[in-house]
Amino acid sequence: MDNKMSKKKIKYLTSGGAIKEIQVEKETDFTVWFDGTSIRINTIENRLWGTWGEAYAYILADAEQSLNSARLNLQTAQSKLGNIKGLLKIRKKEGVGKCLN
C-alpha cells in the first residue's frame, strides 16, 4: 500500500469554543468528511483550521468578543434600570398621583 494514499490530513475543527483534531478523509470548500461523517464547515458553528494555533486564536477572539458584548449589554441594562428607578423619585418629588411606596 502506498504511504501517501493512507496518510490523512490533520485539521482542527472549532465548534462551541472547543478544538477537535480531525483526520480529514475528504474536503471541499463547504464540507469536510472525517470519521465516516460529513459536516458543513466555515459556518458560525463549525470552522476548520490548518493549525491548532489558528484554531485557538479564533476561539479566544470569539470568547473575548462575546465577553465585551455581554459587558456592553450589562451597562445598557444598568442604565435602563437606573432611569426607571429615577422615574419614581421624580414622581414622588412632583407629588403627582399615587406612588409605589
Cell numbers of 86, please? 429615577
Per domain, the residue ranges of the chain are 3-94
Question: Over the Cα atoms of the chain, what is R_g?
Answer: 26
Number of CB atoms found within 10 A of residue 93's CB = 8
Contact 25, 33 (CB under 8 A): yes
User: 26-59, pLDDT tens digit by residue?
Assistant: 999 999 999 999 999 988 889 999 999 999 999 9
pTM above 0.75, yes or no: no
Dist CA 5 CA 67 (whole Å) = 44
The DSSP H or E segment spanning 27 is strand 26-27
User: 48-96, pLDDT tens digit by residue?
Assistant: 999 999 999 999 999 999 999 999 999 999 999 999 988 887 777 777 6
